[in-house]
Amino acid sequence: MKGRAGLLIGLLATAAVGVSLLASRPSTAQDPQAESAMVGFEAPVDVDTAGLPGPRQPIFYRHDVHAGQYEMDCRYCHFAAETSSSAGLPTVSTCMGCHILAGAANPEVQKLREYWNERRHIEWVEVHELAPFVRFPHNRHVMSDKEIECQDCHGPIEEMPQVYQFSSLKMGWCVSCHVENEATIDCTVCHY
């Protein structure tokens, strides 16, 4: 069994189960009294986004609650990671799938519902910005036989209340991993 249960790409805990569990739990993420039925990590109560690393987002969406505490599979929201170069962002309807019931009292969830009710798009701030002359296909990495975890590049995302850039994303960092894993270091594999 790999560490960091639930976050691992290899694990196929069906997200739908998570959803039904969530829907039946009226507790909010930031409620300190919320008892976790899950094992392992429990997200801390954290309301001061200004003190957290990473850019401030329009909604204080917490990866540590969803991915850490509730052990949701990354691919429930980042649905295209295995099939596309882009990992995919959850549509607002995906969020509302749970939050039409879950977390009604949470002010951040209320913000989400406002977006949904007003049919407005959420403008998330990009955290991992690659240079425009380089391509990173998520699917080629996620599906490779080297068993690359999301955390290998994105860091301990299941413990991040607010996401920040963990790796440098500079070329040396890419190349050293390619060398270690005996992947090609041909220029055109990324620069095309």
Interface of this chain with other proteins, residues 4 to 43, rule: CB under 8 A: 28, 30-31
User: In the complex with other proteins, which residue's Cβ is closer, 51 or 172?
Assistant: 51
User: In the complex with other proteins, which residue's Cβ is closer, 37 or 105?
Assistant: 105
Q: How far apart are CA 151 and CA 174, in angstroms?
A: 15
In 3D space, the residue among 147, 141, 153, 92 whose CA is nearest the CA of residue 120 turns out to be 92
Residue type, 158: E
In 3D space, the residue among 94, 109, 110, 78 whose CA is nearest the CA of residue 7 turns out to be 78
User: In the complex with other proteins, which residue's Cβ is closer, 2 or 120?
Assistant: 120
Nearest approach in angstroms of CB 80 to other proteins is: 5
The CA-atom distances, in angstroms, between 119 and each of 79, 93, 106, 114 are 22, 10, 20, 8
Binding segment toward other proteins, per CB under 8 A, in 68-76, 104-112, 141-149, 176-184: 104-112
User: In the complex with other proteins, which residue's Cβ is closer, 7 or 163?
Assistant: 163
Binding segment toward other proteins, per CB under 8 A, in 1-9, 18-26, 68-76, 120-128: 120-128
Q: How far apart are CA 71 and CA 43, in angstroms?
A: 11
Interface of this chain with other proteins, residues 41 to 100, rule: CB under 8 A: 47-51, 54-56, 79-80, 83-86, 88-94
In 3D space, the residue among 181, 114, 111 whose CA is nearest the CA of residue 144 turns out to be 181
Binding segment toward other proteins, per CB under 8 A, in 12-20, 113-121, 142-150, 172-180: 113-121
91's CB contacts (< 8 A; 6+ apart) are: none
In 3D space, the residue among 136, 146, 112, 124 whose CA is nearest the CA of residue 9 turns out to be 146
- Does residue 165 interact with other proteins by CB under 8 A? yes
Q: Which residues bind to other proteins, rule: CB under 8 A?
A: 28, 30-31, 47-51, 54-56, 79-80, 83-86, 88-94, 105-107, 116, 119-127, 129, 138, 164-165
